[in-house]
């Protein structure tokens, strides 16, 4: 017994700088400390079980546990395991000589007391209402966009590769995709979006629709939603832009696809950081007017052109079905297809409307309506295709509208000599305030280029056309 007491005295002597009472207390309150640890461990188990239930409920509703609660559960599991180790050693040595060893009792009592304090603090953290258990799931880098397949359409696949190549060029920050309405610009950028799935090129790829009636607040909200970020409704447009810019800067590398621009959009007004100030920021936009590319100061402009005859037939057959291979219908189908002018929107709409139609009279009726530009009986053509083209006309500058309508007086697919048309325009009074033929030519050519930029007039096959 003297040896046991001597050993304890030596142990306590090592801590001579600490109050003697505290160390003696570990010996005197051995049983209390062990019992308190048992109570606190059970409290912690109860709290962990409660939190587990709350997290499970949240996850079953589509949410995921927060990093804060994940850390707490990890710490709780570790503390419980450490406490159980102490309790196991005490239980194994009760009633044996170890219990009479004051050094051993001192050590285990001290461990039990310190562990009790740690568990008490951790348990309090778990019971605080401010600890959020679950949160909405983290948004993916890329959200897949439903888009028609472009496989086998070599011209569209080529445009896709041009965009992807421009995105890989660190010196290219803004990419313009332009072409006439219905030519497939949106389909192209949706496929670009989907191509970026599974890559590490951007932290976020965000696609938003701008449309002809620009709504900055809606655009800001759409971008913020993709970031899992809430903008306050009551704040001003500029304040929202500032908040959005700060949030976007946290992403460092992001791509924003702005679909359907009709005029220059000031990125600062929206809250999109300058591509010059943030190395990983890139912008793609689509537009019907090449002039918008200049206004947006894009480094690369990619024109989406109409489909070739071979591509048009492939797409039309896919939508209309095998009926177009019928010997009595194939020639009619190709005539109908020709009226689509290689425009994917028209091809798809018309193909779906005539799918499975085996009566030649239905095809003759469709062809007649298309030639007269009154497709009232063809589902989707008037409200879809024709409406899309009409919007392009409605957005022309006032001086370009009569010039365009004058071009419509010429036969279909007719190559118009530009200088000759300018003479006719001058004679009709379209070219005002010109004092010489040279001025008339300059103004006339500017009008022609304006119509070409708007994709309502195509370049002829011969020089000067």
Model confidence pLDDT, tens digit, residues 134-144 = 877 777 889 99
Task: Say which residues have a Cβ less than 8 Å from residue 100's Cβ, sequence separation at least 6.
Answer: 4
Cα separations in angstroms, 304 against 157, 186, 238, 288, 323: 11, 10, 35, 10, 30
Are residues 215 and 95 both part of a single domain?
no
**Could you tell me the pTM of the whole model?**
0.69
Of residues 465 and 443, more confidently modeled:
443
Sheet with 174-178, side-by-side order of all strands: 204-209, 254-261, 281-287, 174-178, 300-303
Q: What is the pLDDT of residue 460?
A: 65
Residues 110-121 pLDDT 10s: 888 898 999 999
With bands split at pLDDT 50, 70 and 90, how would you rate the model's confidence at 11? Answer: low
Both 370 and 407 in one domain: the answer is no
Q: For residues 207 and 327, which has the higher predicted lDDT (pLDDT)?
A: 207
pLDDT above 80 for 130: no
Output the pLDDT for position 288. 92
Band of pLDDT at residue 157, cut at 50, 70 and 90: very high
Give residue 436's pLDDT band: very low, low, confident or very high (50, 70, 90).
confident
Residue 19 banded pLDDT, cuts 50, 70, 90: low
Region 149-161 average pLDDT: 90
* pLDDT beyond 80 at 108: yes
Asked whether residue 357 falls in the same domain as residue 407, the answer is no
State whether residue 176 is helix, strand or coil.
strand
pLDDT digit string (tens) for 261-287?
999 999 999 999 988 777 789 999 999
Are 98 and 11 within one domain? yes
Containing structural domain, residue 345 = 309-377
Q: How far apart are CA 392 and CA 389, in angstroms?
A: 5
Q: Are residues 188 and 284 in the same domain?
A: yes
| Whether 312 contacts 285, CB under 8 Å | no
pLDDT recorded at residue 464: 54
How many independent structural domains does the chain possess? 4
CATH code where residue 254 lies: 3.40.50.300
What is the reported pLDDT for 444? Answer: 86
Query: Does the residue 293 lie in any domain?
Result: yes
Q: Residues 59, 200: one domain?
A: no
Lowest mean pLDDT among 5-14, 75-84, 180-189: 5-14
Query: Same domain, yes or no, for 299 and 316?
Result: no
**Does any domain span residue 124?**
yes
Confidence band, pLDDT 50/70/90 cuts, at residue 4: very low
Closest CA to 110 of 24, 197, 216, 200: 24
180 in the same domain as 289: yes
pLDDT-derived band at 208, boundaries 50, 70, 90: very high
Q: How many CB atoms lie within 10 A of CB 178?
A: 24
Q: Looking at the structure, tell me whether residues 187 and 287 fall in a common domain.
A: yes
**In the predicted model, is pLDDT for residue 220 greater than 90?**
yes
Q: What is the mean pLDDT of the chain?
A: 84
Final residue in a domain of this structure, among 247, 275, 303: 303
In tens, the pLDDT along 226-265 reads 988 888 777 888 899 999 998 888 888 999 999 999 999 9
Looking at the chain, the whole-number percentage of residues with pLDDT higher than 90 is: 29
CB 219 within 8 A of CB 208: yes
Cross-strand partners of 209: 259
pLDDT at residue 376 tops 70: no
CA angle 66, 68, 71 (to 5 degrees): 110
Ramachandran category for residue 231: left, alpha or beta (phi over 0 → left; psi -120 to 50 → alpha): beta
What pLDDT sits at residue 5? 44
Q: Determine, yes or no, domain membership for 442.
A: yes
Quickly state the pLDDT bin for 45 (edges 50, 70, 90): very high
Residue 381 has pLDDT above 50, yes or no: yes
Task: Give mean pLDDT, residues 155-180.
Answer: 94
Answer yes or no: do 61 and 117 share one domain: yes
* Percent composition of the chain: helix, strand, coil (DSSP 3-state, to 5): 60, 5, 35
Q: Is residue 2 very low, low, confident or very high in pLDDT (cuts 50, 70, 90)?
A: very low
| Res 15 pLDDT > 60 | no
């Amino acid at each position: 017994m003297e040896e046991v007491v001597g050993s304890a005295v030596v142990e306590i002597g090592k801590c001579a700088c600490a109050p003697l009472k505290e160390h003696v207390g570990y010996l005197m309150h051995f049983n209390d400390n062990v019992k308190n640890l048992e109570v606190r461990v059970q409290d912690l188990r109860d709290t962990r079980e409660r939190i587990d239930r709350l997290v499970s409920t949240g996850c079953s509703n589509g949410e995921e546990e927060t990093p804060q609660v994940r850390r707490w559960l990890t710490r709780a599991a570790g503390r419980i395991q450490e406490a159980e180790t102490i309790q196991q050693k005490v239980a194994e040595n009760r009633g044996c000589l170890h219990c009479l060893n004051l050094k051993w009792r001192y050590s285990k009592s001290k461990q039990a007391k310190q562990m009790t304090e740690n568990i008490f603090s951790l348990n309090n953290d778990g019971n605080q209402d401010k600890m959020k258990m679950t949160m909405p799931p983290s948004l993916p880098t890329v959200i897949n966009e439903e888009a028609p397949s472009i496989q086998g359409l070599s011209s569209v696949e080529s445009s896709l590769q041009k965009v992807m190549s421009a995105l890989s060029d660190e010196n290219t920050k803004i990419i313009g995709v332009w072409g006439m309405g219905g030519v497939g610009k949106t389909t192209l950028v949706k496929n670009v979006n989907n191509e970026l799935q599974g890559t590490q090129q951007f932290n976020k790829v965000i696609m938003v629709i701008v449309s002809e009636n620009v709504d900055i607040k809606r655009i800001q909200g759409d971008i913020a939603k993709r970031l899992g970020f809430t903008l306050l409704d009551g704040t001003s447009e500029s304040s929202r832009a500032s908040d959005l810019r700060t949030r976007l800067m946290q992403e460092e590398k992001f791509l924003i696809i702005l679909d359907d621009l009709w005029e220059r959009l000031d990125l600062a007004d929206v809250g999109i950081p300058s591509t010059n100030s943030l190395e990983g920021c890139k912008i793609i936009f689509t537009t019907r007017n090449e002039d918008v590319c200049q206004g947006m100061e894009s480094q690369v402009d990619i024109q989406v052109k109409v489909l070739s005859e071979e591509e048009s037939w492939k797409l039309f057959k896919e939508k209309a079905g095998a009926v177009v291979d019928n010997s009595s219908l194939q020639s009619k189908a190709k005539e109908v297809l020709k009226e689509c002018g290689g425009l994917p929107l028209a091809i798809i709409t018309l193909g779906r409307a005539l799918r499975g139609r085996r009566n030649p009279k239905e095809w003759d009726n469709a062809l007649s309506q298309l030639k007269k530009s009154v497709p009232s009986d063809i589902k989707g053509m008037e409200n879809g295709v024709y409406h899309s083209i009409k919007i392009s006309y409605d957005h022309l500058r006032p001086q370009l509208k009569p010039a365009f309508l004058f071009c419509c007086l010429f036969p279909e697919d007719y190559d118009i000599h530009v200088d000759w048309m300018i003479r006719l325009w001058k004679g009709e009074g379209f070219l005002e305030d010109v004092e010489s033929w040279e001025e008339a030519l300059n103004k006339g050519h500017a009008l022609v280029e304006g119509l070409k930029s708007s994709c309502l007039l195509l370049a002829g096959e011969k020089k000067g056309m």
